[in-house]
Amino acid sequence: MSRQLDIIDKRILDELQINGRLSIVELANRVNLTKTPCSERVKRLEKSGVIEYYRAVLNTDLIEMKQVTIVHITLNQTSDNALEQFNKAVTAIPEIESCMLIAGQFDYVLKVRTRDIVHFREILGECIGKLPGVRQSNSFAVMETVKESQFIQMAPKTR
């Protein structure tokens, strides 16, 4: 992006993170702009890549994908080639919501979402355990999600 985000850009980003389906008119009202400049700013944010895409957030209870399990993965080796092979293979497993390479006692943290623990066991045995270079995995069933958000606060909160 060629120019810095100003406070209005940040407020637009906050509003769209909360509700990406806001009309331009409603968004303009919320950020105290008229329709045309608001629309131009949104288009600029999209074109510059600050806004990558819009999506629907599904209710995991209603689609019966309630089970979340965190999996720690240790690889046999962490050469560039081994990491690349693992990274490529892990993207092919749709039940893995998140895969993070970390520094610490193990190499990766996976967030896996399945229907139930039986489904998770199938994914662990048939998919995760067969990922290239996996030496060890440790799984932790999530009992309750206290907070989960992809919201990134851009504008200072007003009180």
Say what the pLDDT of residue 126 is: 97
Q: Which residue has the tokens 């979340």?
A: 68
The amino acid at 107? D
Distance between CA atoms of residues 152 and 100, nearest Å: 18
Q: Please provide the DSSP assignment of 127-152 as one string.
A: TGGGSTTEEEEEEEE-S--S------
Find the radius of gyration of the CA atoms of the chain.
Answer: 20
**Domain boundaries defined on the chain:** 7-47, 67-141
Overall pTM surpassing 0.75 (yes/no): yes
What kind of fold does domain 7-47 have according to CATH? Answer: Arc Repressor Mutant, subunit A (1.10.10)
Q: How far is CA 150 from CA 14, 15, 17, 52, 115, in A?
A: 11, 13, 8, 13, 22
What does CATH list as the number for 67-141? 3.30.70.920
Please write the tens of the pLDDT for every residue from 77-119. Answer: 999 999 999 999 999 999 999 999 999 999 999 999 999 999 9
pLDDT for 109-153, tens place per residue? 999 999 999 999 999 999 999 999 999 999 999 999 999 999 999
Q: How many helices (H) and strands (E) does the chain have?
A: 5, 4
Rounded distance, CA 5 to CA 155, Å? 10
pLDDT of residue 34 exceeding 60, the answer is: yes
Mean of the per-residue pLDDT values for the chain?
A: 96
